Chain A
Amino acid sequence: MVEVAIPESLRFRDDEPADEPAVTLDAFFEQPDAVSVRIEGGDDVRRLGPVLAQVKLVEVDFPRFRDGRGYSSARILREMGYKGELKAVGDVLVDQLLFMRRCGFDSFAPNQPIDPTVAKRALEEYDFVYQQAADGRIPVWKLRHG
């Protein structure tokens, strides 16, 4: 089965966090030395494509947990090759953690604290997945056919 250690910080990476506060996408392009950017629902993350190398932190806002635009933003960033921190911020709940991890989020700043025991269960529960995504898990169809 899958084993997942749940860091207290809900940050699933070892590098040093960026210490600059994230700015809006428009502000990011006005500040040549900015490294942290915040993506709101309607923002087009593809705009970051040409400057991805300078980005260390992308925060993606979830105003309501049912607003799923952030999942696409995350996957697009990872598809474009973004390797930096990808943080889900806002109405982030334990029952959405697995999908968020699968879409490439590797850190979380939920409005309400998440119970690490429940989080561990949610992230470990499924041994198999049907799709490849940004988390590198091998989909069932690949297991079937090698």
Chain B
Amino acid sequence: MYRYDTYDQAVVDTRVDEFRDQVARRIAGSLSEDQFKPLRLKNGLYLQLHAYMLRVAVPYGTMNAKQMRTLAHIARTYDRGYGHFTTRQNMQFNWIKLEQAPDILALLATVQMHAIQTSGESIRNISADQFAGAAADEVCDPRAWAELIRQFTTFHPEFSYLPRKFKIGLTASDNDRAAIKLHDVGLQVRKAEDGTMGFRVFVGGGMGRTPFVATLVRDFLPAHQICTYLEAILRVWNRHGRRDNIHKQRIKILVHDLGGEEFSRQVEAEFEQMLPLGDDMPLAEYDRIAAYFTPPAFEQGLDDTLDLSDPRFAAWVNRNVSAHKQPGYAIATISLKPVGGIPGDISADQMEVIADLAEKYSFDDIRPTHVQNVVLPHVRKADLYAVWQALDAAGMGADNVDLLGDIIACPGLDYCSLANARSIPVAQKLSERFADPARQLDIGELKLKISGCINACGHHHAGHIGILGVDKKGTENFQLLLGGSGAEDASLGKIVGPGFTEDGVVDAIERAVEKYRAVREPGERFLDTYRRIGVEPFKEAIYG
């Protein structure tokens, strides 16, 4: 993985000093809360219902064991012994004291981590395919581009007071594991026949209260021009995006209002103007970064067979292990979704277990996913059993990846000051209702996503089944959506009908799932059946 040089380290260290000074000025009163708020947000610090929350960046979802151990230490020392992986591959700590935040940032800087631009109206941490560097279907490891873009977007002077937040998603595969079409900018690395790299560029996707699937604006942008092209996109939006209504300021609204074609035309015109400025980094810089992402020293000629005589292990392999490009190796997904658990939550002890396993079995490489799980990308097949045993012993042996129990949920009203409803208890109840692994397996792939308000941090629009918590005259109410997808076949779920109570929505989902089981054709996932037969049969089943 990438390692800071003295320049990168100096930037992050300076950031800590700068924020320490800003916190001191805030405490002394020379900065008002209104003036301080965007500054703290750009250092990942939110004020939530009960305390400050610190969101630590895990750039493009890659970290090592030392960094994970530092997160464990922070969880123990400054929080309540646990952390929470978010739907943008970052880690949140929910019980932080403002005056301790600079110390935490200083600690993170010692392991080349930070919380820069994990919040606020800025260019956020880039998210990327969690299988990068391991997947057989990618054209290259996209993380070198992600790191280049990370640097370019860090403290960009023109784009640090944008109309709203700006999120970039990146993949190098036709199978989209990073939900790129639901990002402000989605990038897919491609390779031309002559081997030159380029980006397919999508703009204007997003969830929130006005969800859109992104529009294709460029099919093949020469890769070395990516910084200028991003600047052109950002500049069109920064100048012409709305600033009169916080709910209409995301770039997706501008793209929608102008239409994809006109938006594209403006971007291309700006791009023409800017290209001669030479803002792009030379390919030598890409090569320098890419050298950190060369494949690890895989052993050659390993046996590809697995002993699956332990049925519990076999069940885990069946759901949680994916094909690796290197014979003899596998990609292992650690589910952070035990029955009745809080999706994405992880204790300090568990973080250390993962750190140890990564060092011992996965070339010191750890990947949080946008589904709030953690991937060990490079495990020898021969080591999978030992990995599973250690995970199982630490309460991380759930064998439910992409099944109903693999729920995404935002922190909701248990923590979040924006939320209207509690997401976590619904996730827990669903997880318990469908606890039987055989039943989940029979239901098959089903992506269930829960948000506690219309800001959609729990990606409910992209769920095969989505739940949206709303406030209905002072009581929590849950709307049910069907038919969304965040994958390469991206689509937005539709609300089925009137909302439910917390228990009611669990019952409604059970009825929808049973309907699917009754009418599915062989090989059909829930989503496929929904797309084939439409919403009406489900409505009937749910509302009777």
Query: A residues within 8 Å of B by Cβ?
Result: 41, 44, 65-69, 71-73, 75, 79, 93, 95-96, 98-100, 102-103, 115, 118, 121-122, 125-133, 140-141, 143-145
B20-42 at interface with A (beta carbon < 8 Å): 21-22, 25, 30-31, 35, 38-39
Q: Are B284 and A143 in contact (CB under 8 A)?
A: no
Q: Are B14 and A68 in contact (CB under 8 A)?
A: no
Given contacts A67-B161, A129-B155, contact A144 B35 (CB under 8 A): no
B268-305 at interface with A (beta carbon < 8 Å): 273-274, 277-279, 281-282, 284-285, 288
Q: Are A95 and B161 in contact (CB under 8 A)?
A: no
Which residue from A71, A130, A132 sits with its C-beta under 8 Å from B155?
A: A130
Which residue from A68, A79, A143 sits with its C-beta under 8 Å from B160?
A: A68
Q: Mind listing 23 A-B residue pairs with CB under 8 Å?
A: A66-B121, A67-B243, A68-B162, A68-B238, A69-B243, A71-B158, A71-B238, A72-B158, A72-B235, A72-B239, A79-B274, A99-B155, A99-B158, A99-B160, A99-B161, A115-B30, A122-B18, A127-B14, A130-B155, A130-B156, A140-B7, A144-B5, A145-B285
B522 on interface, CB distance cutoff 8 Å: no
- Closest chain A residue to B22, Cβ basis: A95
B10 on interface, CB distance cutoff 8 Å: yes
Given contacts A69-B243, A121-B21, A128-B7, contact A133 B158 (CB under 8 A): yes
| Bound-complex Cα distance A145 to B162 (A) | 31
Question: Which residues of B sit under 8 angstroms from A79, Cβ to Cβ?
Answer: 273-274, 277
B interface size (C-beta, 8 A): 44
Question: Which residues of B sit under 8 angstroms from A98, Cβ to Cβ?
Answer: 157
Query: B residues within 8 Å of A by Cβ?
Result: 5, 7-8, 10-11, 14, 17-18, 21-22, 25, 30-31, 35, 38-39, 121, 151-152, 154-163, 227, 235, 238-239, 243, 273-274, 277-279, 281-282, 284-285, 288
Q: Are A65 and B152 in contact (CB under 8 A)?
A: no
| Bound-complex Cα distance A26 to B288 (A) | 49
Q: Are A127 and B10 in contact (CB under 8 A)?
A: yes
- Closest chain B residue to A100, Cβ basis: B157
Known: A44-B239, A99-B155. 5 other contacts (CB 8 A): A67-B161, A71-B159, A95-B22, A132-B278, A133-B158
Q: Shortest Cβ distance from A107 into chain B, in angstroms?
A: 17
